[in-house]
DNA sequence: ATGAACATGCGGCATATGTCGCATGTATAC
DNA sequence: GTATACATGCGACATATGCCGCATGTTCAT
């Protein structure tokens, strides 16, 4: 439901690849790209949990973070949002247009298309 | 250069259709859609001028607002931004994908494609 | 048992943006 | 010339987000 910001998306990308990681691991993986201090990464993760973007799983007392929504689900939401707010169209965008995205695999394009059209159905309400 | 926010975009759409309007006119046109009070519309316009999204033209002492950048220029920028930050791709998105946008006309698709590829050239720097 | 090495929680600051209201100024109508 | 109707400028507040640091706690090796 909540949309990740650009920077939050950067962190999400690591979680999508790795399933679930500790704060320290996420920080180390993303540090070069973000340039953030550990505190900043930490805070970002906390806020993402608060927004429902991440789930916490305790492992022997160590907090571990995992994406609450799948990559495709999230991407479909962002694409839909872009179509609605920026392009101002209700037609679902053709999934094929996103084939070049560095983290959408060819095999996933079809599933993305399905999600895009689904999102088009349940409108107004936010059920399902 | 500055990216308009979703709400700022809504106001821009009126300016693109109408060339140039007074604050009151913009407010009246957008009020139903935004639900804003006049003060809010005013403030939004002021901030857009500060950001360089709008130009002011005085007409007999009455301020008139006009978009600083063309519709296609702005859309190309937003699309490029979306591709880079959300999709994480450097390939320009196919302009054809946006044919359904309510305010991009069929005749404009080609020009949009050109802009999209141009934006791909001058990277890193922000000249031109 | 003392300290290095982390983890967690939380406070804090700046800027952007959504959202107003108020004070002052000007013009126009009676 | 006084009231009415706008225009303009500004201050304000809340929330989101980018960006830290510090205090406290736990763990583990020496």
- B46-72 confidence digits (pLDDT tens): 999 999 999 999 888 889 999 999 999
Domain residues for the domain of B92 are 71-121
Total number of domains constituting chain B? 2
Looking at the fold, whether A54 and A21 belong to one and the same domain comes out as yes
Looking at the fold, whether B59 and B90 belong to one and the same domain comes out as no
Distance of CA A32 to the CA centre of its chain: 20
Last residue of a domain, one of B28, B45, B67: B67
Interface test with B, best of A34, A88, A99 (most B CBs within 10 A): A88
Whichever domain contains A42, its CATH number is: 1.10.10.10
Could you tell me what percent of chain B has a pLDDT over 70? 93
Residue A103 pLDDT level (bands cut at 50, 70, 90): confident
Domain for residue A126, yes or no?
no
Domain for residue B35, yes or no?
yes
- Contact residues, chain A, for B6 at CB < 8 Å: 85-86
- A64-73 confidence digits (pLDDT tens): 999 999 999 9
Looking at B1-128, list the stretches that DSSP marks H as alpha helix, in order from N- to C-terminal side. 6-18, 23-34, 38-50, 71-81, 109-121
Residue B83: predicted pLDDT: 92
Looking at the fold, whether B13 and B47 belong to one and the same domain comes out as yes
- A24-65 confidence digits (pLDDT tens): 999 999 999 999 999 999 999 999 999 999 999 988 888 999
Domain for residue A127, yes or no?
no
Looking at the fold, whether B30 and B79 belong to one and the same domain comes out as no
Mark which residues 30-49 of B lie under 8 Å from A by CB: none
Looking at the fold, whether B39 and B75 belong to one and the same domain comes out as no
Residue A1 pLDDT level (bands cut at 50, 70, 90): low
Note whether A88 contacts B: Cβ–Cβ < 8 A.
Answer: yes
- Contact residues, chain B, for A97 at CB < 8 Å: 93-94, 96-97
Residue B128: predicted pLDDT: 34
Domain for residue B43, yes or no?
yes
Could you tell me what percent of chain A has a pLDDT over 70? 92
Domain for residue B95, yes or no?
yes
Mean pLDDT estimate for chain B:
88
Looking at the fold, whether B47 and B80 belong to one and the same domain comes out as no
Domain for residue B25, yes or no?
yes
Could you tell me what percent of chain B has a pLDDT over 90? 69
Domain for residue B127, yes or no?
no
- The angle subtended at Cα A11 by Cα A8 and Cα A14, nearest 5°, is 150
Looking at the fold, whether A60 and A89 belong to one and the same domain comes out as no
């Amino acid at each position: 439901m909540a949309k990740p910001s650009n920077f939050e998306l950067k962190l999400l990308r690591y979680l999508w690849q790795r399933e679930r990681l500790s704060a320290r691991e996420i920080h180390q993986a993303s540090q070069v790209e973000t340039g953030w201090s550990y505190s900043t990464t930490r805070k970002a993760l906390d806020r993402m949990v608060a927004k429902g973007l991440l789930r916490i799983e305790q492992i022997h007392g160590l907090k571990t973070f995992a994406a609450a929504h799948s990559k495709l689900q999230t991407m479909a939401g962002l694409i839909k949002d872009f179509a609605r707010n920026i392009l101002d169209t209700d037609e679902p965008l053709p999934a094929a247009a996103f084939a070049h995205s560095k983290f959408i695999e060819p095999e996933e394009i079809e599933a993305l298309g399905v999600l895009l059209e689904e999102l088009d159905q349940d409108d107004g309400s936010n059920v399902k």
